[in-house]
Amino acid sequence: MKSFSRRTVLKFSGAAACAPLLPYRAFAQEPERAHGLAVIGDLKYGPDFTNFDYVNIDAPRGGKIVTQLPAWAYNQNPQTFNTLHIYVLKGDGAAGMGLTFAALMTGSSDEPGSVYGYVAKEVEISDDRKALRFFLRPEAAFHDGTPITAGDVKFSLETLREKGHPNISTELQGVAEVNAEDDHTVFVRLKPDTARSLPLSVATQPIFSRAWWNGKDFQASYSEAPLGSGPYKVGNFSFGSYIEFERVKDWWADDLPVMRGSYNFDIIRYEYYRDRTASFEAFKKGAVTFREEFTSRAWATGYDFPAIKDGRVVREEVPDGRMAGAQGWFINMRRPKFADPRVRLALIYAFDFEWVNKNIMFGSYDRTYSFFQNSPLMAEGSPKPEELALLEPLRGKVPDEVFGEVFVPPVSDASGHDRNMQLKANELLLAAGCKRIGGALTTPEGSPFTIEFLDDDNTFEPHHMAYIAGLKLLGIGATYRVVDAAQNNDRLKNFDFDMTASRFSSSLFPDEGIKQFFGSKQAKQAGSYNLAGVTDPAIDVMLDKFATAEDWDSFVIAARVLDRLLRAKHFWVPHWNKGTHWFAYWDMFSRPEKVAQYDPGVLDTWWFDKDKAAKIGRSSG
């Protein structure tokens, strides 16, 4: 899930007119230029590195890979698209548009929280991390041959901050000013008390052409691809059907250390289908050539077609070293019927994960219970003394349970109707003021207790129906509604739902972006990721501590306390996780021997293998 975006021209005060003189005062002494930035600690790669460890610098180039959008951000929609502009709220954005843009710096996939020079060759950063100066490469250019200038960077950051998608704009509000000191030097000053990760966010925003956007509405939808400068440019496409990206020949950044051995396919094509079943059929026929499988039933029973049996299609489980994040049904607390935490806790007790895992998911998953699952940031047991030091000032403002054992979802007997869990759920509902009329449950306000689960794909229908059966035993009238992708996107943007399945994922390092999921301001911001409507001053305090931690130890402590506070609100029904990727692909690709810990790098490190393709009768992919 990668992308960024926000709003227009900055307002400069009279003092800002003297800005070219001010930046130097932000530095305690004449700073040294660096080839990269790290949130905490040192960079893995030194100033003379030639390439990332996980690439094959001799990988051949050519061929095509056809896949689907596996993860999405901002206005992207996995089932359709109607605009080639993904950095605003309006429309359903196309897959892959990030491939067409370059940034000042870019990250590596074997090291979290670090970025290295891309459009910017070097950077200076002040001791307090609130002033940065980027030095641009003179060879950096847009696809039409015009150079990327400091003015383009200034325009991009200011426009994203003022007009881009809310999930980027919010983060970039910490940018106080941007100045183009000359054509190849950009100075950025950040506001006080901003996250340690903000310099990296600034450095990784897409760079737009100021000239191309002149006179155009940045917040509109576009059927023309905005001018970019990345490794690919938009080729053939049909709205709602497919989009192709063509590799830029003799690209200006081909030989940079951060790009060597990367982006080897001549064509990357994304296909769109109405659901996962249709896309699987297309994969079996070879219309899609690479597929990441997310459905346990399909992985366990569906891969028995002829191309698997004769070896033309390969299946692999690839380790996933990322934090698992938190997938689950998010409860819209903006709805009065979900206002009482006892009601929300009852909904957790109503879900029999053990039965679902055994009978629907072939025992493939572990239960998720933390927002930082499978990472050092996850809270466990009772608070340690360092955690209590952060919690004590919040006593009386947060549930008492955060001072005890951290909440873990109940474990059922896997029968599908665990009586003890049902009794506990019923007890919580009645304590919250719900009542029974016959076999039906009413809300505390006296209305029938109903829940609509919103989805745009019926892949999870068996899981929903199992949960709905448990809710029915409690007298809750639950329904599963699948709507078209555009309607689903619109309803989520405007928080028009009861419950919906989603996944939260976070950086392993301090990141201001986490406020998009749990910040009080974002709860009312259309298009934000705060689906549950979390509004809690104590959580806001801890979000700030999380984002501004000065060292690893204090960051871990803040994260664990934040995890305790979030889990105590019971605003999601946790799903499941696993520590591997499930890949299936037609046997015409090769990849480096080493798989990066934080990203398997299919599109950027794999390559088309002509010899393999010939053996299975495929020419170009």
CATH code, 469: 3.10.105.10
State pLDDT tens for residues 268-324. 999 999 888 889 999 999 999 999 998 888 899 999 999 999 999 999 998 888 888
- Taking residues 475-498, what's their average pLDDT? 93
Q: How far apart are CA 236 and CA 66, in angstroms?
A: 13
State pLDDT tens for residues 281-292. 999 999 999 999
Q: How far apart are CA 291 and CA 227, in angstroms?
A: 29
How distant, in Å, are the alpha carbons of 46, 129, 146 from that of 150?
A: 26, 20, 13
Q: What percent of the chain has pLDDT over 90?
A: 77
- Taking residues 101-117, what's their average pLDDT? 95
Most confident of 192-196, 367-371, 523-527: 367-371
Assigned domain for 46 exists: no
Of 154, 118, 130, 171, the closest CA to residue 3 belongs to 171
- Taking residues 597-615, what's their average pLDDT? 94
Interhelix angle 537-548/552-569, rounded to 10 degrees, is 160
268 CB-near residues (< 8 Å, 6+ apart): 64, 65, 67, 96, 99, 232, 244, 245, 603
Q: Please give the structure tokens belonging to residue 258.
A: 């951060």
pLDDT confidence bin for 510, thresholds 50/70/90 = low
Name 38's bridge partners.
114
pLDDT of residue 575: 96
Of 50, 47, 172, the closest CA to residue 122 belongs to 47
- Taking residues 188-210, what's their average pLDDT? 94
State pLDDT tens for residues 431-476. 999 999 888 999 999 999 999 999 988 888 999 999 999 999 999 9
pLDDT of residue 612: 96
DSSP 277: H
- Residue 325 backbone class (left: φ over 0; alpha: ψ -120 to 50; beta: rest): left
pLDDT greater than 80 at residue 9: no
Question: Is residue 5 within 8 Å of residue 87, measured between CB atoms?
Answer: yes
Of 289, 291, 253, the closest CA to residue 100 belongs to 253
pLDDT of residue 439: 85
How many other β-carbons are positioned within 10 Å of the β-carbon of residue 175? 22
Q: How far apart are CA 61 and CA 261, in angstroms?
A: 9
pLDDT of residue 25: 41
DSSP 395: B
* Structural domain count of the chain: 1
pLDDT of residue 70: 81
pLDDT of residue 387: 97
DSSP 299: I
Of 247, 221, 204, 250, the closest CA to residue 99 belongs to 247
pLDDT greater than 70 at residue 357: yes
Assigned domain for 378 exists: yes
617 CB-near residues (< 8 Å, 6+ apart): none
Assigned domain for 459 exists: yes
Using DSSP's 3-state secondary structure scheme, residue 281 falls into helix
For 177-206, the DSSP string reads EEEEEETTEEEEEEPTT--TTHHHHHHTSB
pLDDT greater than 60 at residue 27: no
Assigned domain for 567 exists: yes
Helix (H) or strand (E) holding 154: helix 150-163
Assigned domain for 449 exists: yes
DSSP 407: P
Q: Which amino acid is at 523?
A: A
Question: Is residue 377 within 8 Å of residue 563, measured between CB atoms?
Answer: yes
- Taking residues 557-563, what's their average pLDDT? 96
pLDDT confidence bin for 12, thresholds 50/70/90 = very low
pLDDT greater than 50 at residue 20: no
Using DSSP's 3-state secondary structure scheme, residue 90 falls into coil
pLDDT of residue 606: 97
- Taking residues 561-587, what's their average pLDDT? 95
Assigned domain for 589 exists: no
Q: Please give the structure tokens belonging to residue 80.
A: 């359709």
**CA-based end-to-end distance of the chain:** 25
Assigned domain for 401 exists: yes
Look at 28 and 510; give whichever has higher pLDDT: 510
pLDDT of residue 566: 97
Assigned domain for 417 exists: yes
Q: How far apart are CA 450 and CA 481, in angstroms?
A: 13
Lowest mean pLDDT among 78-92, 143-157, 221-235: 78-92
Residue ranges with strand state E in 497-598: 499-504, 572-574, 576-577, 580-586, 589-590
- Taking residues 473-502, what's their average pLDDT? 94
State pLDDT tens for residues 205-263. 999 999 999 999 999 999 999 999 999 999 999 999 999 999 999 999 999 999 999 99
pLDDT of residue 18: 28
Domain that holds residue 394: 326-576
pTM: 0.82
pLDDT of residue 13: 24
Q: How far apart are CA 41 and CA 37, in angstroms?
A: 10
Lowest mean pLDDT among 142-146, 506-510, 544-548: 506-510
Q: Provide the mean pLDDT of the chain.
A: 91
For 507-525, the DSSP string reads -SS--GGGHHHH-TGGGGS
pLDDT greater than 70 at residue 555: yes
pLDDT of residue 503: 85
Label residue 367 exposed, middle or buried (CB < 10 Å: 0-12, 13-18, 19+).
Answer: middle
Q: How far apart are CA 195 and CA 507, in angstroms?
A: 13
- CA torsion sign, 130 to 133 to 139 to 145? positive
pLDDT of residue 29: 56
Using DSSP's 3-state secondary structure scheme, residue 571 falls into coil
